[in-house]
Structure 1
Amino acid sequence: MQSYLSTNFTADEVHNAIKDMKGLAAPGPDGLPALFYHNYWDIVGKDVTEAVLNVLNKEENPDRYNNTHICLIPKIKNPITPSDYRPISLCNVIFKIITKTIANRLKPILPNIISHNQSAFVQDRLITDNTLVAFEIFNYFKHTNRKKGFVGIKTDMAKAYDRVEWNFLRATLEAMGFPQHLTNTILQCVTTVQFSILINGNPSTPFRPQRGLRQGDPLSPFLFIICADVLSGLITQAKNKQLIHGVKVANGAPEITHLLFADDSLFFCRATKQEATNVRNIILDYQRASGQLVNMQKSEIIFSKMVPNEVKVEVNHILPMTRVDHFSKYLGMPTDIGRSKQQIFNYIKDRVWKKLKGWKEKNLSYAGRGTLLKAVIQAIPTYIMSCFLLPKGLCKQIESMTSNFWWGSNTDKKKLHWINWKKMCKNKTQGGYGFRNTCMFNEALLAKQGWRIATQPDSLVAKVYKAKYFPKCQFMEAKNGNMLSYTWRSILHARWILQKGCFWTIGNGESVNIWKDSWLPKQNGFKVWSTQQGYTRYNLVKDLINPATNQWNQNLIHQIFLPFEANQILQLPLVEPNSKDELVWSGTKDGLYTVKSGYHAAMEWNHLRHNQVSSNAIATDLTWQNLWKLKIPPKHATLIWRILNHSLPVRSSLSSKGIQCNPTCPRCNTSLETIDHVFMQCEWAKVVWFGSPMTIHFNTTDRHQSFSEWLSTMLKTKNQECMAPIAALTYHIWRARNLLVFQDKNVPVMCVVQQAISSSIEYQTLGHPHRLPMCAAATQPRGNNTNWTPPPRNSLKLNVDAHPCGDGRWGLGMVLRTEEGKCVGAKTVVVSGLSDILDGEALGLNVAIDFAQSLGNTQVIIELDSTSIVDAVKQRNFNHFYSGRIARRGRAFLDNNPNVSINWVRRTGNQAADFLAKWALTEPNKTWVNSTPLCIIDIIHKDISLCNFVH
């Protein structure tokens, strides 16, 4: 850690810090937001970087950048005293670049120096980790029959950030082993601040504080948890000396004495006078040293089930806090989940209703309502749903309220819902509008917790759950039982998503059961179809691996498995025989589960399970994809979506649904007002289309194609430049129709055309965010070689490619050439069982590495046209599939063999390997030494001629 933290900061670290900042976050006293630096980094970047590095590397005083405005945010409705406000610091962006750079340096080491009991601001730890562990303890409190029970203490720190003593901060950093120069720099950033309070928008007289950390400084959260770790250390020290004893929810479970989330603290000990006194003394010692102060009025204390009342009184006297039967909430979540889940979680519906009640849907387009509902309303229950399974009835009520708002219904009036909610929740590329199915999203969030338990067994929450619920098996095989907490039942309810979408990649094969686990990538699930009958002594995948060679036992595998499964197993690369088996998620490119991918997978599986077939034959998936790719105003796209879904309230449709109205067109009063009539058959509409710059002419006699079909055809065949004005004209024809119906305004044809042209041009020129110049600079420039280029003198170049051959097989081709372009080796390989092109490209690299190894100490350059594989190897950013394992092997090989390098090449410079990969089925698994395959002679000669031309 010392050497890592002592290294000088670099310009790249400064650049990464500014990139991480939100462009339009509130600026500091200089008035310049981060967006200014984003857009003009090519101009100011050099000077800013130099100024920041002077502070970070040369300990220059940052006080000239350290003026800060304080914005007071009310915590209650009618604030009176200063404590009723939350002070937010508005720092200058240059200062935030300094502290953000330090914070980025600290981020990767925090998991190693901060206790597992702290889950705030630490990489790979979530707020829900503490929540889940706490709820298991609360469940234990509720059901344990131990008379010598436990006490739980929830403390509230008063103005936690503002009370941190600077001397204590320095002592803590030094005790943790921070280098002296970094400690000095951090303290300078903290202590040289000058505050001005914003009063009615105007800054007050500046003043300097004597202690405290700023809320709004990127470094402050990390410094706070570093200080709080002292409290964690004191508690742990007392536990080790057996001065206090924590709660163990099951045999083998970790002993929990405390849980911290920033300044939210939970403490647990035995319900005795001595242990309560010890906890109180620890808290008092920490308060005296750090400056922190526990607010006794807001702190609470609870006891486990069988603790006698006289003991409760004694302990409560030592810890004078409010005694309650259960904490009302912990980290914003209810702690006592009874039988009536609807009653417990009903407050979520009330919050949704309160939000919707304050909005006026009339002032918003359907697209605007959709954005607001997705960003605000559907986000309200997300936090609770990440730990609890909400009742289906409650989910339906929330969806009903959301749907009513979108269609314009309220308590005073009802409006038709032209499309059912199930269709609205489909992905936009499948004809839906992308609203979330609340129940399915709830399960996807809970599956995330299951994923973390399965893949992070060393985390505190995983250890607690394993000891209590599945001590003798893996998470995927855990069974239901008695005395389960509601959080655990919720996670088990959503586990089917992981069981259906996860599989194991094989390392040493010690964790994967051949017959029960999912580990064989194929089309229909990941479990083997062969039976274990007669092979009971073979249980784990490691039993199929020859320990002497670290290769598959081919004879045994052909003996046990069906032929196609045997072939698939033998193609799985055993590139890391000493590594652990790894559970991966099939729904993402990196193999890590995300809520988004889990939700879409669950929706798709649910769709297939119910055999739902789209009733809209006009619009295909390609239609929807092209519609939502268009760079047009969302309200234009939403109108086209409604037309394609036949959901516009034209008079004929209203009449068919029993609404009393005149079904004829309000313009011509001769024909039924249908969607086709409004947009293409009415004489007025035809004049609009013909009068536009595109001069579109609809044939009145041709009634074989509806307007929906015409739009669908246009979306499939026309480009952005053509579709943008079509969408604009469609929108303004409908707008003119509504002005006529509801306001009796007759908009002239040319006004409609002009409005459509203006809105389309305006959106194209003003509707897109600025492209940041710095983004281009941050991207690694690729080589400009469009043709094959020879290697340096005394070197060889090995070009590699993969090509799908159909029926699950892949061809690999590689060509080895000298500096003169002469082919001195080539190879074709056919493999099967790979799931995608990335695995094929990675396996090609694997074979290429073996090829390079056989060449001894020769300088070899391996070239691939897969940016993903090359970037993974060079940047050490590996996915968790087999391709990632192979890339890791490639990186390790390069580290140990400096004579071999790997580069990316354009496909046009990799034609020989590409053709050989395609040729692999014709001549599979063949090697050419000091000769050229006949099939690529012309390509080799062409590459040589182009090289000669260039030189």
Structure 2
Amino acid sequence: MWDHLIQTSKDTNIPWLVTGDFNAYCLPEEKLGANSPASLRRCQRFCSWINQAELIDLGYSGPRFTWYRGETQATRKASRIDRSLCNVAWNSTFPNSSVQHLPKFHSDHLPLLTSVGNQHNTDYGNRDNFKFEAVWLTDNKFKDFLAANWNKEIPLQQALKEVTPKLQQWSKEVFGSVNRKKRRLLARLKGITDRLAVSFNPGLLKLQLKLEGELDWVLAQEEIVWFQRAKEKWATLGEQNTSYFHHQATRRKRRNKILALRNANGDWIDDQESLLNMVLNFYTTLYTEDGDQYEDLMPKNVFPRLQQEDSMALHRPYHISDIHKAIHDMKPYSAPGPDGYQAIFYQKFWPIVGKNLADMASSYFEIGEIPTETLDSTIVLIPKMEQPESPAQFRPICLNNVALKAITKAITNRLKPLMPKIVAPTQSGFIQGRQANDNILLLQETLHTLRRRKGKKGGLVIKIDLEKAYDRLRWDFIRDTLKEVGLASSLISRIMTCVERNKMRISWNGQLSNPIIPSRGVRQGDPLSPFLFILCMERLAHKIEQAVEAKLWKPLQLSKNGPKLSHLFFADDLVLFAEAEGSQIDIIKRCLDDFCSSSGQRVNHSKSAMFVSPNVRRDKAARLSSRAGINLTADLGRYLGITAINGRITKARYKELLLKIQNKLAAWKTRHLSMAARVTMVKAVTSNIAIYPMFSELLPVGVCKSIDRCNRSFIWGEEEDKTKLHSVAWEHLTQPRHQGGLGIRPTRRTNQAMLAKGAWKLITDDQSLWVEVLRKKYGRGKRDLQMLAKSKGSSHAWKSFAQTANLLRKGAAQNVKNGRKTNFWLDTWVLQEPLLAQATTEIPMETRQKKVADYWTESSGWKMEDLNQLLPIEVLNKIRAVKLDPLSTTEDKLFWKASANGVFNTSSAYKLEEQQQNNHSSFQWRKIWHLQVPERVRLFMWTAAKGRLTTNSIRKFRHLTSEDKCALCGTEIETNLHCLRDCSKIRRVWEKIVPITQQQQFFSANQEDWLKTNLESNENSGETGEWASFFALVSWYIWKHRNDYIFKAIRLSNYTLINYIVSKAKDWISTWKKAMETRDSLTKPAREEQLIGWSPPQPGWSKLNTDGAAQGNSGIITAGGVLRDSEGDWIAGFVCKIGTGSAILSELWGIHQGLELAWRKGIQFLILETDSKLAIELINKRSDPVHPHATLLDSIRRMLAQSWIVRLVHTYREGNRVADWLSKHSLVYPFGTYELDELPTDLERLLREDMIGISFPRQVIIDGSNE
């Protein structure tokens, strides 16, 4: 039957549904039975069949299982083996289909009721509740309409209320329905196609092409509509994946629709009104304080005292720039609050609407006033599991108005930098520099130690589940906690206003419930909530530490001198550690009870679990479990999404991971995604699902191969046991794009790169608790690359980290500060290898021991006279550009030379691990990926350049056909070049568009030269734009016509074919440009043209302009600058020839030398202008000790901190022309810095133009943050 259904799915595109007993299940949790555990192999087999048949599970409401057997608990079995599956066409035609599991009657199977529901119009324009539509941004008149109808002088909420009905009316009367436009165009095109089938008419053909261009634009708008609803983070616009977005949005809607739930008595309720009342009562009770008398039983005055600098940064007055940053940090298309406006509305139209929002925020921060409706929120219930059965099995997420989120995010941005200072390392959730992997590693390492523990002393691990932790948090406890942290009373009052003064309504199957007025809890979905929760959880950590210090709580110690572990927190995920003694259970319960009494929390004992080390007797373990009221287990299961390691690492441990990837890359998606989108999805899905285990575990080779196999199958649309033609080999797909691949990362190498990140932290990090634990346990007192060695009995995590040592050696280098620790000749510090390898003569042994500092003098810098005869000139030039600070007390330290900022990242580690063979091809692959065409066309040209188009000659070679002749001309063997250029029918197309003078070369070149010449061309072809892009589109339409001719039997005359292909390519050029402009309007900041020029400083101030220049990539770098007074007159200038380096290094040297010049001239009030935003960002950072240019940056910061006032300002190149001229002119000077007291004659014109205010037009990003 299964094979028959697979064939049915391939033979028909009509909507169809199959319902019944499949005698199989998809997930382990769909089977119950102690004596017969779920088979992951059976799950994989059934899921694989569903994927092959391209079917979608409609889900269900009602009881979890559909088949039961057994009368006693010992013999009871149950599983979900009955289900309803549909194809994508059914899902599209009947988007409101649903399945109910009805009560069992005279059978061991439950009946299934499948309903198609009310198939109402799902067009975006027919919504009862207002929601700002991203597709409106595609109308170039929308901004003017909004500006004309927006009132900047009234409060924000009033302005929104006034403009909303106008937007709805504009959408209906001016913009129109995308669906209606699409239907009208399709109807007109059908009529034209029918007429052309009877008789040819050039006018009708021209109209057809025009309407097809309009339809392309409407389809792009439709894609935006469904993209906004599908909420697919990995996806990109512009690739015609509309049907996929539509189906994903439909599946989301169905999954979130609640048809039946159990009440408190266990009865199923399916009446919608009764369901809503039940859910409303549940959450009203949940958000209502119990009424117990509040008493704070937690330790007082334990939080670290805020330093004055931190307190001032936290409590300084809020500015419009804080709100601007908060708005632009938000995800543009996150779900809106009750007012219907997403962040994109404020981001795109900040100059229009920003003042109203800033005024509201200013009123809130200054006097605490905020409109009540701004605080309102909508609760959406997100299922915690596939098929929830009770209200408690949902996660209530509050959708807050963006205006409120801007305020709470501004407060959060102030709190973030302080959190690592006031929250202990035992908490890692939402803390900068800490990750979930920190806790995962510590738990795995603890379990590894306990499993090997011998003797009388046992250990225990308790995983605590807090019931609805965010929603039960007492407001009084939050307030007291903020006081304990040291926040000012005014700030506490503002925060508590956001927490306490809110009204919530539940979104229930498209309707809103009556309001809930809460008296406890924090809103999940608000930016501030996680930080408030973490601070409250830290009070429990204080209680535990107090018990540890009093020697009441006996923590675990994994090594003799290692830190003691008593607890790990990640938000509401708690793990507790102690010795396996009854007294420890008592103190644990006491700490938890006091915390719960104070904070309002409740421990869910049924979902908590306890593990004891194997050296604890069974009867004792049972007594400890009974005493704690927590179930004993030999396997703690999943923690933060990762299965706790319990024994040997085998492929079986990762079956659930593989099943999850397989389900994510379901076969039905391949038909609705372009290959370009499938490649993007593979890159996103695999890395996101496997990221946590890859960070701390070396996956078995078999698991890596299985993941790669899933990726391959999805890209090529392959089914299990049924191989499809892979046009390009896997090893080519995994090459970098600039080397002729698609940049898909093989799982094994990705795993190695991620492990290297953890190993790098082991040798460089001084903050992480897990690093300290592992160093003490295995490091033998070392903290360098030599530490990473495998040892007998070490954990899987340590062994995994140790095998990355060679990779780290390739990327590690010494970052010189004072140069006293780094060996000049033997360490890697300025090149990719030690300088000894570049020496032009034999270096004596005693000289080899010299340090970097030995070759530097404070007065003149590098001792070039000692090095000129020892190293080649290109190496000497690299050394010249390095700044040393011999007076610094900061020691040289390791940095990651493979990244631009010296900080380790997995991408650079992957490139080192890659070790690709040299690509000897002269083909410029980057040219393909830079073509201004859709990604699928780029992918087609990449396949053509690889020579892997599935022509008849290749199909015959693969035994897919017996005929290798060209189907169009019928005379020649169909090769890549023949079908794209040399076929007699296709040649006429090129003859029409290629100039006669170029046709001889065009038609005589071999395939590689032909593609290379045309794709690398920079010529502009007038109405067709860039020739390379037009060439690619014509080639793609030729291939498309070839396929239509063979597989759809579409026949076109020579005249029609030529005009059709050329016209379609031209139309696509204009349509694509419009689509890209639309995409940019949806995803990129708005720009406007401004006049840019140099402006003089105010009286009493001077202005220093500096610039840097680099001669190519890592060539000679130079810098220059000019110092002028408030009249624009020349004070002094400088030129500087530095050495060899990067563009940013030249900019920093220019700033450094410019500051030295201004200081020597006695300037007290200085504006320093540079056209390098990156340089300003680097200087403004408080610390970047591992940056390759850290010593130079520190020197600049010290000069800025001297007794003068310096303002660092960014300008554009048009306002920095004099400094630009000086930096380029520096190339004619010898190495060194030269002060110019007199104005060079060649600069007189530029200086005069600056003085009279000559300006130049430039497109700049509209900021508005300082308005």
1:641 to 931, 936, 942: 942
Equivalent residue for 2:399?
90
Write the letter of the residue equivalent to 1:730.
S
Equivalent residue for 1:178?
487
User: Is the partner of 1:910 in helix, strand or coil?
Assistant: helix
Shift of 1:70: 1.4
Equivalent residue for 2:766?
457
2:1200 to 894, 908, 918: 894
**CA deviation digits over 1:709-765, x for unaligned, max 9?**
333212211356433433332222212211221222224514444444444433321
Shift of 1:15: 0.8
Q: Does 1:239 align with 2:548?
A: yes
Equivalent residue for 1:712?
1012
Equivalent residue for 1:761?
1070
CA 1:247–1:628 in structure 2 vs 1: closer, same or farther (change >3 Å)? same
2:670 to 352, 361, 364: 361
Using structure 2 for the length normalisation, give the TM-score.
Answer: 0.68
Q: Does 1:29 align with 2:338?
A: yes
CA 1:545–1:309 in structure 2 vs 1: closer, same or farther (change >3 Å)? farther
Equivalent residue for 1:729?
1034
User: Is the partner of 1:731 in helix, strand or coil?
Assistant: helix
Shift of 1:657: 3.4
Shift of 1:648: 0.7
Q: Residue 503 of structure 1 contacts residue 586 of structure 1 at CA under 8 Å; is this kept in 2?
A: yes
Distance 1:85 1:512 in 2: 57
User: Is the partner of 1:507 in helix, strand or coil?
Assistant: coil
User: Is the partner of 2:395 in helix, strand or coil?
Assistant: strand
Q: Residue 173 of structure 1 contacts residue 183 of structure 1 at CA under 8 Å; is this kept in 2?
A: yes
Write the letter of the residue equivalent to 1:665.
C
Q: Residue 841 of structure 1 contacts residue 869 of structure 1 at CA under 8 Å; is this kept in 2?
A: yes
Write the letter of the residue equivalent to 1:843.
W
CA 1:512–1:395 in structure 2 vs 1: closer, same or farther (change >3 Å)? same
Distance 1:233 1:245 in 2: 15
Distance 1:559 1:636 in 2: 53
2:1046 to 716, 741, 744: 741
Using structure 1 for the length normalisation, give the TM-score.
Answer: 0.88
Q: Residue 686 of structure 1 contacts residue 697 of structure 1 at CA under 8 Å; is this kept in 2?
A: no
Shift of 1:819: 8.1
User: Is the partner of 1:224 in helix, strand or coil?
Assistant: helix
Query: 1:384-399 maps to which residues of 2 (within 5 A)?
Result: 384-399=693-708
Distance 1:701 1:835 in 2: 41
CA 1:759–1:916 in structure 2 vs 1: closer, same or farther (change >3 Å)? closer
User: Is the partner of 2:1033 in helix, strand or coil?
Assistant: helix
Shift of 1:335: 2.0
Equivalent residue for 1:662?
963
Shift of 1:795: 5.3
Q: Does 1:939 align with 2:1211?
A: no
Q: Residue 111 of structure 1 contacts residue 122 of structure 1 at CA under 8 Å; is this kept in 2?
A: yes
Write the letter of the residue equivalent to 1:625.
R
Shift of 1:644: 0.7
Q: Does 1:466 align with 2:775?
A: yes
Shift of 1:235: 0.7
User: Is the partner of 2:576 in helix, strand or coil?
Assistant: strand
Deviation larger for 180-189 or 53-62:
53-62
Write the letter of the residue equivalent to 2:807.
I
Shift of 1:262: 0.5
Q: Residue 991 of structure 2 contacts residue 999 of structure 2 at CA under 8 Å; is this kept in 1?
A: no
Write the letter of the residue equivalent to 1:222.
F
Distance 1:275 1:406 in 2: 54
Equivalent residue for 1:481?
791
CA 1:476–1:630 in structure 2 vs 1: closer, same or farther (change >3 Å)? same
Shift of 1:882: 4.5
Equivalent residue for 1:500?
810
Equivalent residue for 2:422?
113
Q: Residue 509 of structure 1 contacts residue 540 of structure 1 at CA under 8 Å; is this kept in 2?
A: yes
User: Is the partner of 1:196 in helix, strand or coil?
Assistant: strand
Equivalent residue for 1:682?
983
CA 1:94–1:929 in structure 2 vs 1: closer, same or farther (change >3 Å)? closer
Shift of 1:183: 1.4
Q: Does 1:843 align with 2:1153?
A: no
Deviation larger for 587-596 or 267-276:
587-596
Distance 2:321 2:1128 in 1: 38
Distance 2:1073 2:644 in 1: 51
User: Is the partner of 2:524 in helix, strand or coil?
Assistant: coil
Equivalent residue for 1:585?
896
Distance 2:1250 2:324 in 1: 38
Equivalent residue for 2:882?
572
User: Is the partner of 1:574 in helix, strand or coil?
Assistant: coil
Distance 2:626 2:753 in 1: 45
Deviation larger for 336-345 or 587-596:
336-345
Q: Residue 937 of structure 2 contacts residue 1036 of structure 2 at CA under 8 Å; is this kept in 1?
A: yes
Distance 1:696 1:379 in 2: 53
Equivalent residue for 2:907?
596
Shift of 1:590: 2.1
Equivalent residue for 2:213?
none
**CA deviation digits over 1:562-615, x for unaligned, max 9?**
798899667632237123434322233322222223223432xx11xxx4434x
**CA deviation digits over 1:482-532, x for unaligned, max 9?**
2211112212222433321222212245665667653x2115467877899
User: Is the partner of 2:565 in helix, strand or coil?
Assistant: coil
Write the letter of the residue equivalent to 2:575.
L
Write the letter of the residue equivalent to 2:1013.
T
Distance 1:42 1:808 in 2: 42
Q: Residue 475 of structure 2 contacts residue 520 of structure 2 at CA under 8 Å; is this kept in 1?
A: yes
Q: Does 1:44 align with 2:353?
A: yes
**CA deviation digits over 1:285-325, x for unaligned, max 9?**
11111111111111111123423344423322321212122
Shift of 1:554: 5.4
Write the letter of the residue equivalent to 1:731.
W
Shift of 1:282: 0.2
Flag structure 2 segments of 5+ consecutive residues without an equivalent: 1-305, 1255-1267
Shift of 1:185: 1.6
Shift of 1:667: 1.8
Q: Residue 355 of structure 1 contacts residue 377 of structure 1 at CA under 8 Å; is this kept in 2?
A: no
**CA deviation digits over 1:98-129, x for unaligned, max 9?**
22222112111111111211000111111111
CA 1:533–1:75 in structure 2 vs 1: closer, same or farther (change >3 Å)? same
CA 1:808–1:481 in structure 2 vs 1: closer, same or farther (change >3 Å)? farther
Flag structure 1 segments of 5+ consecutive residues without an equivalent: none
Deviation larger for 151-160 or 391-400:
391-400
Q: Residue 398 of structure 2 contacts residue 525 of structure 2 at CA under 8 Å; is this kept in 1?
A: yes
Distance 2:371 2:793 in 1: 57
Q: Residue 443 of structure 1 contacts residue 494 of structure 1 at CA under 8 Å; is this kept in 2?
A: yes
Distance 2:571 2:1221 in 1: 58
CA 1:184–1:521 in structure 2 vs 1: closer, same or farther (change >3 Å)? same
User: Is the partner of 2:898 in helix, strand or coil?
Assistant: coil
Distance 1:882 1:927 in 2: 25
**CA deviation digits over 1:865-917, x for unaligned, max 9?**
54433453357686843434323321331221426666667363125532552
Shift of 1:260: 0.4
Write the letter of the residue equivalent to 2:903.
L
1:370 to 653, 674, 679: 679
1:303 to 612, 620, 623: 612
CA 1:456–1:793 in structure 2 vs 1: closer, same or farther (change >3 Å)? same
Paired positions, count: 928
**CA deviation digits over 1:681-721, x for unaligned, max 9?**
223223344566x7889959975314553332122113564
Equivalent residue for 2:129?
none
CA 1:855–1:146 in structure 2 vs 1: closer, same or farther (change >3 Å)? farther
Q: Residue 876 of structure 1 contacts residue 888 of structure 1 at CA under 8 Å; is this kept in 2?
A: no
Q: What percentage of residue pairs aligned between the two structures are identical? A: 28
Distance 1:926 1:731 in 2: 56
Q: Does 1:13 align with 2:313?
A: no
Write the letter of the residue equivalent to 1:497.
L
CA 1:774–1:681 in structure 2 vs 1: closer, same or farther (change >3 Å)? closer
Shift of 1:246: 1.6
**CA deviation digits over 1:649-698, x for unaligned, max 9?**
10012223344321111122112112222221223223344566x78899
